[in-house]
Amino acid sequence: MTQQLILDLLPPSPPSLENFVAGQNAAVLHALAHCTPGHALYLWGAPGAGRSHLLQAVAQQDDALYVGPDGPAATLSALASADTFPYRLVSIDNVELMDERDQTALFALYNRWREVATTNEAFAMVLAGDRAPLALPLREDLRTRLGWDLVYRLELLSDDDRAQALETRASERGLRLAPEVVNWILTHYSRDMRLLSALLEALDRYSIEKKRAITVPLLKDLLASGQPAVDDTRGRPEPDQL
């Protein structure tokens, strides 16, 4: 079964700070939960660390906006020049992909953020990229602005973190995963928590359908029912934790 087919079995829960597997990133969660208007926070880390998950999570509130990597220039320009700023928080993802127009728009928005930071029109900004601010392929004055306030590096989850998360989510479903099942998943399958959670749901359904206990052979049968979704790219960049 392909990874996409497994994901289609159960739409993932909306990203939230509560369903993010923190691992070594507890300080990041605390900072995001307390990111008030007038402050800015930049997150960076490798693919799979959860950048998009966190940016979408903080934008779930009614007075917040998530800006993805697809053509943000018009959105950011409109925000920078709006007579009344419509949001209390703006999260902006994948800044490393910004072209010249995007960068100009973000530069203008940063200037507005700074001008109103101590007024009633203050808003928060949460941004993310794949590397530290000064290493980004952006104009120098924008790289500097990304480091104006708080900067955090997101750490990838360890296998122990993933194992604990899998066991916790299995327990919530009334399942018990034998150690050899957890070990096989972590060794052979994707390290992306979104895919791991969807695999667990698919495995639960498959076990009920086949009336068999959850074992490594059952897991292999599930993955062999389509094309195996085995992760043979350990050590390479991975999908985000979203």
Q: What's the pLDDT tens digit per position in 19-66?
A: 888 899 999 999 999 999 999 999 999 887 889 999 999 999 889 999
Q: What is the pLDDT of residues 180-210, one digit of tens each?
A: 999 999 888 877 777 787 888 888 888 988 9
Query: Does any domain span residue 20?
Result: no
Query: Does any domain span residue 217?
Result: yes
Q: Side-chain half-sphere of 107: how many Cα atoms within 13 Å?
A: 14
Query: Does any domain span residue 238?
Result: no
Instruction: Specify whether 46 is located in the same domain as 132.
Output: yes
Instruction: Specify whether 194 is located in the same domain as 121.
Output: no
pLDDT value for 226: 57
Structure tokens at 132: 């530290």
Containing structural domain, residue 212: 3-9+158-224
- Spatial distance between the Cα atoms of 37 and 60, rounded to a whole number of angstroms: 16
Q: Which residue has the higher pLDDT, 212 or 2?
A: 212
Instruction: Specify whether 64 is located in the same domain as 140.
Output: yes
Q: Which element (helix H / strand E) includes 125?
A: strand 124-129
Q: Which element (helix H / strand E) includes 186?
A: helix 179-188
- Spatial distance between the Cα atoms of 54 and 32, rounded to a whole number of angstroms: 8
Query: Does any domain span residue 17?
Result: no
Q: What is the pLDDT of residues 74-113, one digit of tens each?
A: 999 999 999 999 999 999 999 999 999 999 999 999 999 9
pLDDT value for 200: 87
pTM greater than 0.75: yes
Share of the chain above pLDDT 70, in %: 87
Rounded to the nearest 10 degrees, how much is the dihedral formed by the CA atoms of 90, 96, 98, 104? Answer: 70
Query: Does any domain span residue 240?
Result: no
Which of 103, 132, 153 is where one domain is finished? 153
Instruction: Specify whether 146 is located in the same domain as 167.
Output: no
Instruction: Specify whether 107 is located in the same domain as 41.
Output: yes
Instruction: Specify whether 49 is located in the same domain as 144.
Output: yes
pLDDT value for 191: 74
Q: Is the pLDDT of residue 10 over 70?
A: no
Instruction: Specify whether 149 is located in the same domain as 176.
Output: no
pLDDT value for 236: 33
Query: Does any domain span residue 19?
Result: no
Q: How confident is the model at residue 235 (pLDDT cuts 50, 70, 90)?
A: very low
| Range 13-21 average pLDDT | 83
